[in-house]
């Protein structure tokens, strides 16, 4: 036990009479093991596996252009003669295509990597957008109070009437109606981020508003007011840092939901078009070939999507339980 030297030196009497600070300064490893967050992480093999899967998938998405054997969306490199090939290890598969090809002759492995990249990017941007809206509105509602608060929170209440996927579908439909000139291909990405952002902001707003209400009555905020700082400055510099903690947990939990939402919209045909597919689009395409036995076209994007969401959800659960049991 090389890291616990501090404890032996003390007399038992001291340890008993002065409990907390008397335990000396054990080494970093020992201290980490004593930390509840780390301990719960180490205690759960599942969480560790989830962390590894998440890191691998995020890395694969980030480095997709370098990992992928081909650019699946470069028409010059795609040959229709290669279409419908099964994975390499299945009879009829070719060494060039690890996971087989789709109906266009695109390499599925590359397509899944690029699809993962798109899915994660939209999910992350959507969640970030939602957090930005939610945090701003929550801060304003909590800090300003009164009628502004009432209006914002009533909107939140009404929105909670509808599941996120429905809101996202509505936003998608309305925005496309407003942008009737533009083609779906150009606008799909932005519309998806917008839809996800507008579907998920409520939880952030409620959380932030709640803690802002508590925080704004504390002395240091009163002091900042007396000094004459502008409300915007107070909110940004003083309130925000003190209320933003739980947002991390919501962010993680929402990332899984956002990825599912994007995939669902794309699957339903109102998300990304086949020319720039996300995992959801790939699944939509692959579903058509299920009955002809070409399972791989839907299976690999499907497994990737499920694995990603499962891993992120596990991490979110762990974070929530470890950081803030009350958020349950």
Q: Which residues bind other proteins (CB under 8 A)?
A: 12-13, 15-17, 19, 39, 154, 157-158, 161-163, 165-166, 169-170, 172-174, 176-178, 180, 256, 260, 263-264, 267-270, 280, 283, 287, 290-291, 293, 295, 298, 302, 305-306, 309-310, 313-314, 328
Angle 190-191-195 from CA coordinates, rounded to 5°: 120
For residues 212 and 281, which CB has a smaller minimum distance to other proteins in the complex?
Answer: 281
Torsional sign, CA 296, 301, 302, 306 = positive
Q: Computed from CA positions of residues 48, 56, 129, 260, in that sequence, does the dihedral angle turn out positive or negative?
A: negative
- Least separation, in Å, of the C-beta of 202 and other proteins? 14
Nearer to other proteins, 193 or 239 (CB): 193
* Between 247 and 283, CB nearer to other proteins: 283
User: Shortest distance, CB of residue 71 to other proteins, whole angstroms?
Assistant: 26
Distance of closest approach, residue 178 Cβ to other proteins, in angstroms: 6
Least Cβ distance, residue 196 to other proteins (angstroms): 14
* Choice between 135 and 196, CB closer to other proteins: 196
Rounded to an integer, what distance in angstroms lies between the CA atom of residue 322 and that of residue 35? 10
- What is the total residue count of the chain? 328
Cα 160 from Cα 195, distance rounded (Å): 15
**What is the maximum span of the chain, computed from C-alpha positions, in angstroms?**
82
Residue nearer to other proteins on the CB measure, 139 or 283: 283
Q: How far is the CB of 251 from other proteins (least distance, A)?
A: 17
Q: What is the DSSP letter of 326?
A: G
The pair phi, psi for residue 259, each rounded to 5°, is: -65, -40
Minimum separation from the CB atom of position 86 to other proteins (A): 15
**What single-letter DSSP state applies at residue 35?**
S
The DSSP letter of residue 85 is: P
Residue 78 vs 141, nearer CB to other proteins: 141
């Amino acid at each position: 036990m090389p890291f616990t030297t501090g404890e032996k030196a003390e007399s038992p009497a001291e340890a008993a009479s002065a409990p907390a600070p008397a335990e000396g300064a054990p080494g970093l490893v020992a201290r980490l093991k004593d930390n509840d967050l780390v301990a719960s992480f180490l205690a759960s093999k599942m969480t560790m596996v989830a962390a590894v899967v998440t890191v691998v998938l995020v890395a694969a998405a980030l480095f997709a252009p370098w990992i992928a054997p081909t650019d699946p969306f470069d028409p010059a490199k795609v040959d229709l003669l290669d279409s419908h090939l099964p994975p390499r290890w299945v009879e009829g598969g070719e060494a060039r295509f690890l996971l087989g090809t789709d109906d266009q002759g695109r390499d599925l492995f590359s397509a899944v990597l690029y699809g993962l990249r798109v899915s994660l990017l939209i999910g992350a941007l959507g969640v970030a957008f939602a957090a930005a809206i939610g945090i701003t509105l929550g801060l304003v509602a909590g800090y300003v109070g009164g009628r502004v608060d009432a209006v914002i929170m009533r909107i939140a209440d009404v929105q909670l009437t509808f599941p996120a996927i429905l809101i996202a579908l509505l936003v998608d439909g309305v925005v496309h109606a407003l942008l009737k000139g533009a083609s779906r291909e150009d606008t799909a990405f932005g519309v998806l981020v917008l839809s996800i952002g507008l579907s998920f902001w409520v939880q952030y707003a409620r959380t932030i508003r709640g803690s802002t209400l508590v925080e704004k009555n504390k002395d240091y905020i009163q002091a900042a007011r007396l000094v004459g700082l502008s409300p915007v400055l107070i909110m940004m510099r003083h309130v925000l840092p003190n209320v933003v903690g739980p947002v991390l947990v919501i962010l993680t939990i929402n990332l899984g939901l956002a990825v599912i939402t994007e995939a669902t919209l794309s699957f339903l045909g109102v998300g990304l078009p086949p020319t720039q597919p996300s995992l959801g689009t790939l699944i939509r395409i692959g579903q058509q070939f299920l009955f002809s036995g070409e399972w791989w076209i839907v299976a690999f994007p499907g497994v990737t999507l499920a694995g990603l969401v499962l891993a992120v959800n596990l991490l979110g659960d762990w974070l929530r339980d470890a950081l803030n049991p009350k958020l349950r």
